[in-house]
A = this chain, B = another copy of it.
Amino acid sequence: MGLVNHKFTLAARPMGLPKRTDWSYTEESVRELAEGELLIKVLLISLDPAMRGWMNESRSYVPPVGIGEVMRALAIGQVVASRNPRFEVNKYVSGTLGVQEYFITDGKALMEVDPRIAPLPVFLSTLGMTGMTAYFGLLDTGRPEPGDTVVVSAAAGAVGAVVGQIAKIKGCRVVGIAGGASKCHYLLADLGFDTAIDYKSEDVTAALRKSCPTGINIYFDNVGGDILEAGLANLARGARIVICGAISQYNNTGPVQGPRNYLSLLVNRATMKGMLVFDYMDRYKDAIREMAGWMAAGKLKSREDIIEGLSSFPDALLQLFKGENFGKLILKVAEH
């Protein structure tokens, strides 16, 4: 076909924030398809905090990306050639396509995406893994009841914004923690949060004490570190802490900061529970249907922060760890 694939492979395991030299940007010819395979043109790449963990040597819930391998990434693409009867040319699909322009697969781990339901980027944000993480993390692990006080960190981030909105739909009081006045304004004015705390200008522990006078019933944590400790310091009896991520700790060169006040779990008979979205795969379809319904009804807003060009990948990923993104960070690789 004469196509050329550009891709980012992992050149070195980063210490701290990934540097430009931790990546190789290379090109290769796209090979011919074998029987049963299809060729996908990558359109949109999801940039996720979890990617930092995949770059480390240690095995987590998935094996690490190997040195010299294409960087793992969720993405949306379009089928441009197919020798697989299940996938017609021109269909849109989502899957682990990698940080590259073309992907060849047998199609087994792909999901079809229907662009009539929502714009394509939304399938990487609210109707994608991000939204699924928020949905199952809050509803299954957090178990909100009407009237609960729900606190979410990284609240203007991709997962946090959806968590807070679902909590409002479920009748909870919602407090969001975010960095900077414009993100806080977004939480209050656009997403309908009850309170926003700016961790860059406020003492989060004191602000939580003030905004949660009867304590926190659910704390949905995306960040770890000091903000997790501020949450632990303000729990209500029987509180649930959902451990979804710890972006403040992913680029540490020293040890992770463990929550020094974890004995608040004992004092408050509270629960801290970790969740991984992949465990809910068999329920994605129902969740997407419900979330799409909320979006159609105007109860749930999706916001994407789109950066152009595959070659922007190393810098775009850093924006995530610097908290510079506003909504779901997506790399646009090709027009659709």
Determine how close the nearest CB of chain B comes to the CB of A323; give it in whole angstroms: 19
Copy number in this complex? 2
- Knowing A257-B260, A260-B256, A260-B257, the reply to whether A272 touches B265 (Cβ < 8 A) is yes
In contact, A266 and B274 (Cβ under 8 angstroms): yes
Beta-carbon contacts under 8 Å, A269-313 to B: 269-276, 279
In contact, A273 and B275 (Cβ under 8 angstroms): no
Complex CA distance for A261 and B255, rounded to whole angstroms: 9
**A245 in the interface, Cβ–Cβ < 8 Å?**
yes
In contact, B262 and A269 (Cβ under 8 angstroms): no
Which of B263, B264, B272 is in CB contact (< 8 Å) with A262? B272
Q: Is the interface of A mostly helix, strand, loop or mixed?
A: loop
Residues of B within 8 A of A253 (CB): none
In contact, B275 and A263 (Cβ under 8 angstroms): no
- Knowing A274-B270, A276-B269, the reply to whether A243 touches B260 (Cβ < 8 A) is no
Complex CA distance for A246 and B260, rounded to whole angstroms: 12
In contact, B279 and A263 (Cβ under 8 angstroms): no
In contact, A243 and B265 (Cβ under 8 angstroms): yes
Q: A residues within 8 Å of B by Cβ?
A: 60-61, 224, 229, 243-246, 249, 255-276, 279
Residues of B within 8 A of A61 (CB): 266-267
In contact, A255 and B263 (Cβ under 8 angstroms): no
Residues of B within 8 A of A249 (CB): 263
Determine how close the nearest CB of chain B comes to the CB of A225; give it in whole angstroms: 10
In contact, A273 and B274 (Cβ under 8 angstroms): no
Determine how close the nearest CB of chain B comes to the CB of A198; give it in whole angstroms: 25
Residue of B nearest to A232 (CB): B258
Which of B259, B266, B276 is in CB contact (< 8 Å) with A259? B259
Complex CA distance for A263 and B262, rounded to whole angstroms: 13
